[in-house]
Structure 1
Amino acid sequence: MKSRSSERIKIPPGFWAGLRQLGIAAHDVARKARLPLTIITEPVVTTAEYFAIWQAYSDLTGDTAKGITKLATAFETAKYPPTVLATYHARDYRDALNRMARYKQLCPPESLRITEEGEHCTIELEWQDTEQPGPPMLVGITLAFLLELGRRGTGHPLTAQFVEFSNSMGDVQVLEAYFGCRIQISAKRNRLTLHRRDLDRPFVSYNEELLEILTPALDQSLYEQQRSPSMTEMVKWIMKRSLTGGRPNIQAVAKELSMSDRTLQRRLTDENTSFKRLLIQAKHEQAREYLADPSLDMKEVAYLIGYEDQNSFYRAFRLWEGVTPSNWRTQHLGTN
């Protein structure tokens, strides 16, 4: 089985906006998940980090079921990412679900398997190439949003026939009120069963012109996702998530990429760079990102990019930018 330690998953900005509407700060989620704050400004994470974010949200809400229903209904349609817009503006509910299953490939590790039989349409949530199942909150949100999509698209208060979850989901009555059907816990699979007749309902949000723009672009993204990123990109990406409180070494990064440090160094040389050069670039870029956030003090910025003392950070930053971190922040954020 392929290692997914270097898998890259993009979190849409609308996710953080949805949490803000619920009174949950993105910084609190990052800290609860023990992840660097880069996930907010540069939201590309590994599978493990992605799961940690959802678990952190669950912990902060206190009850899985309530967290599911609140976020599913709070997420504003206008803030949907392109992959979801292509489903929201589909011709009918069936078209929307099929598009959702297709474009879920752009957001691993989830995948959807849709089956129509008799009066039922079942949508089973599976995990792409990973033995670790996602946290219950992510499972619940995924299935709840599929029903929410149908409700918003058709303009009707649709209900499910049956919902199955493999784990405990908190207050089941809250979920049954949302889905409008019986909920089974400790099932063998995570599955949403819809009334098949609802799939023929047209979407009031259907937009043919927009789909003609979005569909080719998303299909191209699917194609490009199959292509491997450069070694330089992968190494710098891993470095940025390993800077906090320490100094990533080539052995650790090579291990995450499932190769020897000699092989990694050779690959970087082939791309006209080196591990040391990329580490400096990663620290420089992250320093600028963090300094652009006025809520972080200098000591915290220094720690987040791997400096135990503030003076070392100041000296390094002056070499990069020619000014102190404080002056750089003043120049770029103003003195308001």
Structure 2
Amino acid sequence: MKSQPNDLIKVHPGFWAGLHQLGISTDDIACTAQLRFEAINEPVVTQSQYFAIWQAYSDLIGDTAEGIIKLATGYEISKYPPPVLAMYHARNYRDALNRMACYKQMCPPESLQIIEAGEQCSIELEWLHKEQPGPPLLTGITLAFLIELGRRGTGQPLTAKLVEFSQPMGNLDVLEAYFGCRVETGTPYNRLTLERKDLSLPFLSYNEELLEILTPVLDRTLVEQERSRSVTEVVKWIIKRSLAGKRPDIQTVAKELRMSDRTLQRRLTEENTNFKQLLTEARHEQAREYLADLSLDIKEVAFLVGYEDQNSFYRAFRTWEGDTPSNWRVRQ
């Protein structure tokens, strides 16, 4: 799904303030990234410019791992943009992570997928344009911020269970000391795995009054951004986000989009599709993605794509792929 028209990405002033604290100036970044100084001082940049900025920071800082930790731990809360403040002042760690996954849509080019299963919670980073993944340091800082958010919010030295990166990340000993767990590279995923029980920990920084101010504004911005996309893209995204353990209906999705179900049906018809078709496509796409993750058993996959009955999932998957989920997984 497209993130913003023309793939423009906002760069918050706090980012530059964070680099300045590390002794890196915008002149340094512009020179290293071979970008015009005027270009990187614009409120928005193109995706290629955004990646070049992060790669320049990585080159200037030296080791990728050290660059990740320095920026993640050195960033002042007062410099956070409004979406991040809403996470920091959430009710608990789970609320903060869910807000981050939601509001991340306003800050492409990556998205976050949160899966709670058994005793663990995995948060996977996905690039909106898979053919153009971001620099390793950008991947690392995103996952590091997830654990940093929990530590600052709860006031406890939280650790992860496992961290996985698809690219080399520099000094792994440094990263393992920071995350408090094993860090693997060269994996199919960019993923942080947490103890699920930690998600219920309350945030000491919880601020109900501030959230009552921030949340409506951020939600309104998100809705306006979603309206710039096709209705089909937005509906499928909402379905995927809402699948786990249930089957979302058109009334629920229409309510979230602040329109009647009849209006939503009409809009989908205008785009040559319908809700039932999008639900099927979303389940099929998510099933393939989850089955590729060997840490999930078939029963968990069935639940995550909205089937309470495993046999119903088997029948549906046979219709989609002409084979059972188990056989399909082996073939892949």
Q: What is the TM-score with the length of structure 1 in the denominator?
A: 0.66
Deviation at 1:205, TM superposition (A): 0.3
Superposition CA RMSD, Å: 1.8
Give a deviation string over 1:243-293, Cα, whole Å, max 9, x none.
Answer: xxxxxxxxxxxxxxxxxxxxxxxxxxxxxxxxxxxxxxxxxxxxxxxxxxx
Amino acid at match of 1:86: A
User: Contact 2:3–2:128 (CA<8 Å) still a contact in 1?
Assistant: no
Deviation at 1:72, TM superposition (A): 0.3
* Counterpart for residue 82 of structure 1: 82
Helix, strand or coil at the partner of 2:6: coil
Deviation at 1:87, TM superposition (A): 0.3
Is structure 2 residue 28 aligned with structure 1 residue 46? no
Helix, strand or coil at the partner of 1:160: coil
Is structure 2 residue 64 aligned with structure 1 residue 64? yes
Amino acid at match of 2:101: A
Helix, strand or coil at the partner of 2:133: coil
Bigger drift between 42-51 and 16-25 goes to 42-51
Alignment of 1:269-308 (within 5 A): none
Deviation at 1:43, TM superposition (A): 2.8
Deviation at 1:181, TM superposition (A): 0.3
Task: Describe the shift of the 1:2–1:151 C-alpha distance in structure 2 as closer, same or farther (beyond 3 A).
Answer: closer
Task: Describe the shift of the 1:150–1:4 C-alpha distance in structure 2 as closer, same or farther (beyond 3 A).
Answer: closer
* Counterpart for residue 36 of structure 2: 36
User: Contact 2:3–2:106 (CA<8 Å) still a contact in 1?
Assistant: no
Deviation at 1:32, TM superposition (A): 1.1
Deviation at 1:184, TM superposition (A): 0.5
Amino acid at match of 1:224: E
* Counterpart for residue 136 of structure 2: 136
Aligned counterparts of 1:134 and 1:205: Cα–Cα separation in 2: 31
Amino acid at match of 1:192: L
Give a deviation string over 1:70-99, Cα, whole Å, max 9, x none.
Answer: 000000011100010010000000000000
Deviation at 1:227, TM superposition (A): 5.1
Helix, strand or coil at the partner of 2:161: strand
User: Contact 2:39–2:45 (CA<8 Å) still a contact in 1?
Assistant: yes
Figure out how many residues of one structure are paired with residues of the other and give that number: 229
Give a deviation string over 1:166-224, Cα, whole Å, max 9, x none.
Answer: 11000000000000000011011100001111000000000011101111111111122
User: Contact 2:167–2:186 (CA<8 Å) still a contact in 1?
Assistant: yes
Aligned counterparts of 1:4 and 1:212: Cα–Cα separation in 2: 26
User: Contact 2:54–2:138 (CA<8 Å) still a contact in 1?
Assistant: yes
Deviation at 1:6, TM superposition (A): 2.5
Aligned counterparts of 1:47 and 1:224: Cα–Cα separation in 2: 21
Aligned counterparts of 1:3 and 1:176: Cα–Cα separation in 2: 32
Deviation at 1:38, TM superposition (A): 2.7
Q: Work out which of the two has the higher radius of gyration on C-alpha atoms and give 1 or 2.
A: 1
Task: Describe the shift of the 1:38–1:225 C-alpha distance in structure 2 as closer, same or farther (beyond 3 A).
Answer: farther
Deviation at 1:36, TM superposition (A): 2.0
Give a deviation string over 1:30-52, Cα, whole Å, max 9, x none.
Answer: 22111222345323111111111
Aligned counterparts of 1:11 and 1:89: Cα–Cα separation in 2: 22
Is structure 2 residue 188 aligned with structure 1 residue 188? yes
Aligned counterparts of 1:11 and 1:39: Cα–Cα separation in 2: 11
Deviation at 1:27, TM superposition (A): 1.4
Q: What is the TM-score with the length of structure 2 in the denominator?
A: 0.66
* Counterpart for residue 329 of structure 1: none
Aligned counterparts of 2:38 and 2:120: Cα–Cα separation in 1: 43
User: Contact 1:93–1:202 (CA<8 Å) still a contact in 2?
Assistant: yes
Aligned counterparts of 1:173 and 1:209: Cα–Cα separation in 2: 41
Alignment of 1:140-159 (within 5 A): 140-159=140-159
Task: Describe the shift of the 1:4–1:197 C-alpha distance in structure 2 as closer, same or farther (beyond 3 A).
Answer: closer
User: Contact 1:5–1:47 (CA<8 Å) still a contact in 2?
Assistant: no
Amino acid at match of 1:116: E
User: Contact 1:109–1:130 (CA<8 Å) still a contact in 2?
Assistant: no
Amino acid at match of 2:117: E
Task: Describe the shift of the 1:202–1:105 C-alpha distance in structure 2 as closer, same or farther (beyond 3 A).
Answer: same
User: Contact 1:4–1:130 (CA<8 Å) still a contact in 2?
Assistant: no
Helix, strand or coil at the partner of 2:124: strand
Aligned counterparts of 2:214 and 2:63: Cα–Cα separation in 1: 36
Bigger drift between 121-130 and 186-195 goes to 121-130
Aligned counterparts of 1:95 and 1:4: Cα–Cα separation in 2: 25
Helix, strand or coil at the partner of 1:14: helix
Aligned counterparts of 2:128 and 2:67: Cα–Cα separation in 1: 24
* Counterpart for residue 9 of structure 2: 9
* Counterpart for residue 103 of structure 1: 103
